[in-house]
Amino acid sequence: MCSQKLISSDVFRPCNFPEHTYITRESKDGIDYEQRLKLALNISGTLISIIGASKMGKTVLCEKVIPLERQVNVSGADFSNGEDFWHVISQKVGLPLGGQITEKKQISDTEQHSKTEMFTLTKDRVIKYFVDNNKVLILDDFHYASDESQKSIASHLKDAIRRDFRAIIISLPHRADAPIRKNADLVGRLSLIDIETWKISELKEIAIKGFNELDIKISEDIANDIAVESLTSPQLMQYICLSICTLLDTDNGETKEITSDILEKAYKFTTSNLDYRDVLTLISRGPLSKGKKRSKFTTKSGEEMDLYQLVVESLAENPPLMGLTIDDIKDRVNKLITDTNNNPDRQKVKNTVTQIQKLINDKDDIYKVLEWKDEMIYIIDPLFLFYLRWGR
Ligand SMILES: Nc1ncnc2c1ncn2[C@@H]1O[C@H](COP(=O)(O)OP(=O)(O)O)[C@@H](O)[C@H]1O
Ligand SMILES: [Mg+2]
């Protein structure tokens, strides 16, 4: 029987589990992430907390390690309005609610009493169901749960894990770690897994493995180029590789090798589904200036730009960096403008960055693409920087 030829969309999967391009990475302590998660799942009585930046492979890691039939997936968004924890989970696994069994007993009870009873019954049944069936609760995007819910979920879980209930909480760094990681009741009962951002050498492997599966050659140098542009994001790497395949029509054509002439086109093509125009407008316009006109600078490309526009331009410059100091930005700004006697000083650059941060802070999550802290400006959304570099 001849094996079926793989097509590019099976191999490069930016939005799903990448069966053919899955890369195993080492965590900081030298153990694979998969191994760490397996070990953690083996210790009963602990709660597993996975933290990592967006799109770094937290969900994919769980999918890799835990067989589908053991997974029970819920999202923090299911608890955005204070929904009852056990109620949501029992519904998820299709268990009858406690209330449906206690109905007869409740007739003479006060309402409060019956509520508590219903809750305990639901909880007990859910825990028993999980233990008997060897299920693992994966509570993804915990940061979407309301603050109240996060606290309440933490206390429900504290009790449940003692009874062998297996649970994994997945969240973004800084955001939702307090109710879990800084919870005194949970100290000593946590297994912590921090997913680091991807190194270039790790990102490269996605391209090499994937094109190899498609029987297409790719040099180390080209894989390296794509990895640099992927800005620490395995998802971006998968997207760019898929764009290359689409542009070259590799599924139907006779492509034998990836050459560098396709790269720029593929980067630009990859941005066609990214829409950061509103974010870009917000930060390059800056706050409303009251009457006073902002100084303009002439750039080498002949445009007149104020400092807000220049700071944004500086982020997009080479080499792509996910973290820059004020001096980095100042140097880049200076290189962009023609009149070197009129360079904006360090303090002005710093004020501009601070103002940009203020504008972002007041906005929805989609705008939170940058973070100014510890005297550094960090790009927290790699797709945004990619858009700045190739999407305009
Ligand atoms: N270990 C991996 N190997 C290859 N690609 C990966 C890996 N982890 C993540 N990816 C790619 O990144 C995408 C986003 O991963 P995901 O797990 O959804 O991120 P997160 O849950 O951290 O936001 C995946 O759909 C996949 O394309
Ligand atoms: Mg996820």
Ligand 1 centroid vs 91 CA: distance in angstroms?
28
- Ligand 2 center from residue 52 Cα (angstroms): 9
Compute the 3-state secondary structure of the chain and give helix, strand, coil in percent, each to the nearest 5.
55, 10, 35
Ligand nearest to the CA of 56: 1
Of the listed ligands, the closest to the CA of 63 is 1
Ligand 1 pocket check for 238: Cβ under 6 Å: yes
CATH no. of 199-273 = 1.10.8.60
Compute the distance from residue 346 Cα to the ligand 2 centre, in Å.
38
pLDDT digits (tens, 9 = 90+) for 210-246: 999 999 999 999 999 999 999 999 999 999 999 999 9
Predicted local distance difference test score (pLDDT) of residue 2: 53
d(CA 353, CA 349): 6
- Residue 120 structure tokens: 């305990």
Closest ligand 1 atom to 12 CA: 27
CB of 9 closer than 6 angstroms to any ligand 1 atom: no
Is any atom of ligand 1 closer than 6 Å to the C-beta of 23? yes
Ligand 1 neighbour 288 (Cβ under 6 A): no
Atom of ligand 1 nearest to the CA of 57: 17
**Segment 290-323, tens digit of pLDDT:** 777 889 999 999 999 999 999 999 999 999 999 9
Is 177 or 32 the better-scoring residue by pLDDT?
32
Identify the pLDDT of residue 330.
96
**Ligand 2 mean position, distance from CA 59 (Å):** 4
Predicted pLDDT of residue 104: 43
Q: Which residue has the higher pLDDT, 3 or 133?
A: 133
Banded model confidence at residue 384, pLDDT cuts 50, 70, 90:
very high
Give the tens place of pLDDT for each residue, 76-92: 999 988 788 999 999 99
Instruction: State percent of the chain over pLDDT 70.
Output: 92
Residue 117: the pLDDT is 65
**Amino acid identity for residue 186 in this structure:** L
Does 56 contact ligand 1 (Cβ within 6 A)?
A: yes
Q: Count other C-beta atoms under 10 Å from residue 42's C-beta.
A: 10
CA distance linking residue 258 with residue 338, whole number of Å? 38
How sure is the predictor about 172, in pLDDT bands with cuts at 50, 70 and 90? confident
Mutate to test the pocket of ligand 1, among 235, 270, 365 (most ligand atoms within 8 A of CB): 235
Residue 143 beta carbon below 6 angstroms from any ligand 1 atom:
no
For residue 110, the model assigns a pLDDT of: 58
Average pLDDT for residues 5-22, to the nearest whole number?
Answer: 97
Question: For the chain, what is the mean pLDDT?
Answer: 91
278 vs 31, 262, 392, CA distance in Å? 41, 29, 13
Sign of the four-CA dihedral 185, 188, 190, 195: positive
> Which ligand 1 atom lies nearest to the CA of residue 21?
4
Give the integer Cα–Cα distance in Å for 62 and 58: 7
Say how far apart CA 323 and CA 353 lie, in whole Å. Answer: 13
* Ligand 1 proximity of 18 Cβ (cutoff 6 Å): yes
Ligand 1 neighbourhood includes 322 CB (under 6 angstroms): no
Rounded CA-CA distance 15/387 in Å is 18
198 CA → ligand 1 middle, Å: 11
pLDDT at 5: 85
- According to the model, what pLDDT value does residue 96 have? 76
Q: How confident is the model at residue 111 (pLDDT cuts 50, 70, 90)?
A: low
16 Cα to the center of ligand 1, angstroms: 7
| Distance from Cα 312 to the centre of ligand 2, integer Å | 28
Residues of the chain with CATH 3.40.50.300: 33-195
At residue 103, the pLDDT reads 44
Candidates 90, 61, 92, 55; CA nearest to 75 is: 92
* Nearest atom within ligand 1 for CA of residue 52: 22
Q: Where in the chain is the domain with CATH 1.10.8.60?
A: 199-273
Do 369 and 381 form a contact (C-beta atoms < 8 A)? Answer: yes
For residue 227, the CA-to-ligand 1 centroid distance in Å is 15
Q: How close is the Cα of 140 to the center of ligand 2, in Å?
A: 6
**3-state SS assignment for residue 298:** strand
pLDDT given at position 25: 98
What value does the mean pLDDT take over residues 268-275? 94
With bands split at pLDDT 50, 70 and 90, how would you rate the model's confidence at 115? low
For residue 142, pLDDT beyond 70: yes
Is the pLDDT at 177 greater than 80? The verdict is no
CATH superfamily, domain 33-195, is: P-loop containing nucleotide triphosphate hydrolases (3.40.50.300)
